[in-house]
């Protein structure tokens, strides 16, 4: 066997090994859960309760829940892939100050929830969260589905199957496949990925109004993905870009006020 052929075969073996390792460990590269269970009160949210949802397959999901003030909507919140509910306490507090209700689901493996996260599990659990809200008496028209980063894919998938007053997508992507292909261009990620969160294929099924928020300086999920998803969404829709915004700081540039104005306009309330 010639030396060039040996080198080529060795390179191929290394590439195959890297691809196999990436396939086997892909969920560790996608999800970064903080399993610590922190009570809402300990995170500064005295008017938010911690509840537990039981899934049909026997898992316990931690939920932070607060009732809406009369005439106000409820935010059904799906968080990003890092940290846990306590990392979003500041944002939750700002919406509580507006009188909005809150139903924030912790994915499996996060914030005291049992099990391990996956796309299939997250979408089933999101549907369970929505159905629980409706069973509690919340009108679907009063439910605003909020998806942050990874959670934007959960939000789009949920809104594609459920009725809602509106959908808020904070730093959304077209699909996790597109993100992975940008990040690992030498790997065949479009073939390897199991959890794909293909919002670009689902958003046309969303009939509720859509608000997309994105920072122009986002280095995790580029703003061009927010623009692309906006182009695919049905009317009515709105895209708000923040020139100085990064990935997790849009509240610093007025995102909460924008959400308040947008929801108020949809509901015919002057702000």
Residue 22 counted as domain residue: no
Residue 8 counted as domain residue: no
**What is the CATH number for 85?**
3.40.50.1820
Distances (CA, A) of 205 to 62, 109, 116, 198, 200: 29, 29, 28, 12, 10
Residue count of the chain, please give it.
Answer: 271
Which residue, among 243, 64, 214, 241, has the nearest Cα to 149 in the 3D structure?
214
For 218, the domain range is: 31-266
Residue 182 counted as domain residue: yes
Residue 24 counted as domain residue: no
Residue 180 counted as domain residue: yes
Residue 14 counted as domain residue: no
Contact status, residue 190 vs residue 175, Cβ threshold 8 Å: no
User: What is the tally of structural domains in the chain?
Assistant: 1
pLDDT of the chain, 271 residues: tens digit per residue: 554 544 444 443 433 443 434 444 455 667 988 999 999 999 999 999 999 999 999 999 999 999 999 999 999 999 999 889 999 999 999 999 999 999 999 999 999 999 999 999 999 999 999 999 999 999 999 999 999 999 999 999 999 999 999 999 999 999 999 998 887 665 667 777 889 999 999 999 999 999 999 999 999 999 999 999 999 999 999 999 999 999 989 999 999 999 999 999 998 854 4
Distances (CA, A) of 233 to 19, 49, 143, 155, 226: 34, 34, 19, 13, 11
Secondary structure of residue 16 in the 3-state scheme:
helix
Those residues whose C-beta lies under 8 Å from the C-beta of residue 135, and which sit 6 or more positions away, are: none
Count the alpha carbons within 13 Å of 259 in the hemisphere toward its beta carbon. Answer: 29
Residue 25 counted as domain residue: no
Q: What is the pTM of this model?
A: 0.89
- Cα three-residue angle 46-48-53, rounded to 5 degrees: 145
Residue 15 counted as domain residue: no
């Amino acid at each position: 066997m010639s030396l060039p052929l040996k080198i080529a075969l060795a390179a191929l073996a290394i590439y195959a090994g890297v691809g196999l390792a990436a396939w086997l460990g892909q969920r560790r590269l996608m999800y970064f859960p903080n399993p610590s269970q922190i009570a809402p009160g300990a995170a500064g949210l005295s008017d938010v309760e911690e509840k537990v949802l039981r899934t049909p397959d026997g898992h316990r999901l931690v939920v932070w829940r607060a009732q809406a003030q009369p005439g106000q909507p409820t935010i059904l919140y799906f968080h990003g892939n890092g940290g846990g509910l306590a990392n979003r306490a500041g944002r939750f507090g700002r919406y509580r100050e507006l009188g909005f209700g809150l139903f924030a689901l912790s994915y499996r493996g996060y914030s005291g929830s049992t099990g391990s996260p996956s796309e299939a599990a997250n979408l089933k659990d999101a549907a369970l969260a929505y159905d629980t809200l409706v069973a509690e008496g919340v009108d679907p028209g009063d439910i605003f589905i909020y998806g942050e980063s990874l959670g934007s894919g959960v939000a789009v998938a949920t809104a594609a199957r459920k009725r809602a007053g509106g959908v808020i997508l904070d730093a959304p992507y077209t699909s996790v496949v597109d993100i992975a292909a940008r990040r690992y261009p030498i790997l065949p990620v479009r073939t390897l990925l199991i959890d794909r969160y293909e919002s670009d294929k689902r958003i046309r099924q969303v009939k509720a109004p859509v608000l997309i928020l994105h920072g122009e300086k986002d280095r995790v999920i580029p703003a061009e993905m927010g623009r692309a998803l906006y182009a695919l969404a049905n009317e009515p829709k709105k895209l708000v870009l923040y020139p100085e915004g990064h990935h997790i700081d849009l509240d610093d540039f007025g995102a909460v006020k924008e959400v308040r104005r947008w929801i108020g306009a949809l509901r015919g309330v002057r702000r």
